[in-house]
Amino acid sequence: MIMVFAMIAAIWGIGAAMKAPRSARWVMTGILLLAVVLAQLVLPPDNGLRQATGGDVRLWLLLIGFGALVWAYRRALRALKSRAAPPPQDALPPREGFSESELNRYARHIMLREVGGPGQTALSRARVLVVGAGGLGSPALLYLAAAGVGTIGVIDDDVVETSNLQRQVIHRDGYIGSPKVASASQALRELNPHVAIRPYHRRLDAEIAEELIADYDLVLDGCDNFDTRYLVNRACVAMDTPLIAAAITQWEGQIGLYDPARGGPCFACVFPTAPDPGLVPTCAEAGVIAPLPGVIGSMMAVEALKTLTGAGAGLRGRLMIHDALYAESRTLKTAARPDCPVCAGKGLRQA
């Protein structure tokens, strides 16, 4: 039995080191346990392999049954919690048109040939998830709400700090010490009461990523670490959800649209491996000019509105780099990699 438990520990340890999804690790564990049960049932009692794996199938069936009971209990508890939770703030009844107040609010959009009434209606029905309520998330969230995107989710496990206020313009001094998602939600509701806000005060991890992203039409990633960026990319590829990802440092920022399901590369195609931490210092280590997140975050919002309304030419298959210090911008072509471990064989596969 010790050998089996050691193999299970190896599956979870190696899987965690390789950042494999928890679902994949559970599947491998289940296959191992199924093989052990079959060995106990098929092999003769004096077989060495059967003896090394416990020698009695009843013990394994008892352990598996106990595990199944724990799983069922957790599922039932989660279902009860969801029923007992208050109605979500995004449970808005569907509407066929806009109120007079909304028509006045969105008049400049509706006048645009590329948006018009159909485009504004598409925005009102859209669901966009923003990962990170920091420098990039701040302007992106504000402009998504101002533009009338119907449902906006924001996930972040951080709290507002004094050092954030130099560039994270969605937060206010009075919210120092409060969750960023709470501060951002309040600002968005004050800006536009016609949109629904879904705050998630927690870290995005592999356990919830795919389930969460499946509920949205588009994801904007403005997080500050590569582990989360690659996780968001994997989940978006799995759910066929377009991803707009951006990053900033000091005076420079970059932004791209990653959408292999519709002919573009994924984030891992363009950035196969994370750079050495010493080569990409954080904003806290290297500094950042205050308006730069506003510039790149606003670009994220523009690309989001274009993606949702079908206006213009987006950044699918292109990477835009903006150098604020020298007032220069350039665009690089990007392409899907046939050997990409994340999206190979996904979608159209043509950039």
Question: Which one of the listed residues 236, 269, 283, 343 is annotated catalytic?
Answer: 283
Q: Which residues contact 179 (CB under 8 A, 6 or more apart)?
A: 156, 158, 159, 160, 199, 201
Residues 106-160 have pLDDT tens digits of 999 999 999 999 999 999 999 999 999 999 999 999 999 999 999 999 999 999 9
CATH of region 100-333: 3.40.50.720
Which carries the bigger pLDDT value, residue 284 or residue 332?
Answer: 332
Residues 247-275 have pLDDT tens digits of 999 999 999 999 999 989 999 999 998 88
User: Reduced to 3 states, what is the DSSP secondary structure of residue 215?
Assistant: coil
**pLDDT-based confidence at residue 74 (cuts at 50, 70, 90):** confident
The structural domains of the chain, with segments of one domain joined by +, span 2-84, 100-333
pLDDT at 91 over 50: no
Q: Return the structure tokens found at 201.
A: 């005060």
pLDDT at 94 over 70: no
Provide the CB-side half-sphere exposure for 107 (13 A, CA).
5
**pLDDT-based confidence at residue 347 (cuts at 50, 70, 90):** low
Residues 232-252 have pLDDT tens digits of 999 999 999 999 999 999 999
Which carries the bigger pLDDT value, residue 226 or residue 3?
Answer: 226
Q: E strand or H helix at 3, and its extent?
A: helix 2-17
**pLDDT-based confidence at residue 323 (cuts at 50, 70, 90):** very high
How many Å apart are CA 306 and CA 313, to the nearest integer? 8
Residues 159-201 have pLDDT tens digits of 999 999 999 999 999 999 999 999 999 999 999 999 999 999 9
What does 38-104 look like in DSSP terms, one character per residue?
HHHHHS-TT-HHHHHTTS-HHHHHHHHHHHHHHHHHHHHHHHHHHHHSPPPTT-PPP-SS--HHHHH
266 catalytic per annotation: no
**pLDDT-based confidence at residue 28 (cuts at 50, 70, 90):** confident
Residues 54-72 have pLDDT tens digits of 777 777 777 777 777 877 7
pLDDT value of residue 110: 92
Which carries the bigger pLDDT value, residue 16 or residue 234?
Answer: 234
